[in-house]
Structure 1
């Protein structure tokens, strides 16, 4: 028989909040003794991630707004809209990316592994960007992605 566990999170000063390529990424939980990390990601209108892949699976639960999800399947590149309440599964090594085509910020929770959590911490800044990422920022993010087992396939 499996017991249920509850993880309670409390707002703290100095919470783990990062801005990665314009998205606001906030750690909600790191489940000790597991690879599970939970982040809330706020995606401004027009923001997107490039097509990429990594060895671990991910699960997204859309909280607000809508995202266009792109992921590679056996039939080619699939593109669909996910809205509040939808849950999206990304398999291990599945190429994927997302964009926010809507006028409002989209928010989703992401369950990710330790490599992805460390990538957020390594590439994230404490302040939101004032403009589109510079060539230096893109180079730094690509190097950090490679160091954390993330392959960027298309910018």
Structure 2
């Protein structure tokens, strides 16, 4: 188990595009059960396309405002959900979704992924890929597929 309580000033940080994840609980420290992060997203940030994966997610917005796009069932409809400080947004596994910051101020949320291996593996691989500069979409698709994440496009 990781050291408790978590010292945010010493926590690992991963950069995904313009977004920053502060790792609060790793799968190593939770026996694979969860990957918990503080997500800091600047204006215009967030994954560019709808995606889906097996793990469940839940977010609690701490600062600012995040917009969640969530697929609703088999008809292909996508619902737009705006969440502000204190709001909680649960996303069951395999639900098409994405998160964006459509405001002009940073947004911060606490997020938990369970089980955590898929999202932690993807976050680490995507951060490593981005460390080499702006990745090409073919490489992003390969990293996502390798970690069990289906990007739904358009790219």
Measured against the shorter chain, the TM-score band is 0.7 to 0.9
SS at match of 1:124: helix
Whether the 8 Å CA contact 1:18–1:127 is kept in 2: the answer is: no
- Match in the other structure for 1:32: 30
How much does 1:34 deviate? 4.3
Q: Which runs of 4+ in 1 moved over 4 A?
A: 125-129
Structure with more helix by fraction? 2
Q: Deviations over 1:20-51 (max 9, x none)?
A: 12100110113522421110111110112120
CA distance, structure 2, for counterparts of residue 26 and residue 138 of structure 1: 25
- Match in the other structure for 1:51: 50
Instruction: Pick the aligned partner of 1:23 from 10, 19, 38.
Output: 19
Aligned-residue CA RMSD (Å): 2.5
- Match in the other structure for 1:87: 88
CA change 1:152–1:80 in 2 (3 A) is same
Q: Deviations over 1:69-118 (max 9, x none)?
A: 10111262111201111110111100000111111110111101211011
CA change 1:92–1:67 in 2 (3 A) is same
**Aligned residue-pair number:** 145
Please list every run of 5 or more consecutive structure 1 residues that lacks an aligned counterpart in the other structure.
Answer: 1-6
- Match in the other structure for 1:9: 6
CA change 1:127–1:17 in 2 (3 A) is farther
TM-score (norm 1): 0.83
Please list every run of 5 or more consecutive structure 2 residues that lacks an aligned counterpart in the other structure.
Answer: none
CA distance, structure 2, for counterparts of residue 108 and residue 78 of structure 1: 20
TM-score (norm 2): 0.83
